[in-house]
Amino acid sequence: MTSTPALPSEKAKPHDFDPLTFFDVSYIYGVMANTARKQREWQQREDLILGVARQMLLEGGYLGLNMDRIAEALEYSKGTIYQHFSCKEEVLSAICTQSLAQMADLFAQGNTFSGRTRERMMAIGFRAHA
């Protein structure tokens, strides 16, 4: 087996193989993939929490929204809910932020419709309730 070049100025041959470098790269890619998966799962869990909280808010108003009920409805521990949101005010803020982002998107789409202002506004309304 040939040894890998000791100095950067020495050229590596195609058949040279450094197992440590190979495994380091594999490990890094594995960690990156794992991190991306965990971030995706975190976001999915947060979206689920906000969906349940939004429904509670619609059904019971602000007083009907509480962290214990959110955890119970999702069959999560309260700790899991609190990892995402520190209090119900933070949940409410996230729901409002989501709603405003959706409305902004609808208005942006409405600007692309042809027609008069009234027709565009009606199209936005239909999109919002579709």
Q: What is the CATH number of the domain that holds 84?
A: 1.10.10.60
Query: Is 3 a member of any domain?
Result: no
Asked if the structure places residue 116 within a domain, the reply is yes
Give the residue from 58, 7, 57 showing the smallest Cα distance to 67: 57
Asked if residue 36 belongs to a domain, the reply is: yes
Q: Write down the pLDDT at residue 124.
A: 80
Q: Residue 7 falls within a domain, yes or no?
A: no
Residue 9 has what pLDDT? Answer: 52
| C-alpha distances in Å from residue 106, one per residue of 16, 95, 101, 118 | 57, 17, 9, 15
**What is the residue range of 122's domain?**
19-128
Q: In this structure, is residue 105 part of a structural domain?
A: yes
**pLDDT (mean) for 103-123:** 83
Q: Report the distance separating Cα 78 and Cα 72, nearest Å.
A: 8
**Location of structure tokens 């050229």:** 11
Number of domains in the chain: 1
Q: Which pLDDT band, with edges at 50, 70 and 90, does 118 fall under?
A: confident
Establish if 42 belongs to a structural domain: yes
More confident site: 25 or 85: 85
- The pLDDT score that the predictor gives to residue 23 is 59
User: What are the residue ranges of helices labelled H in the chain?
Assistant: 19-64, 67-74, 78-84, 88-112, 117-128
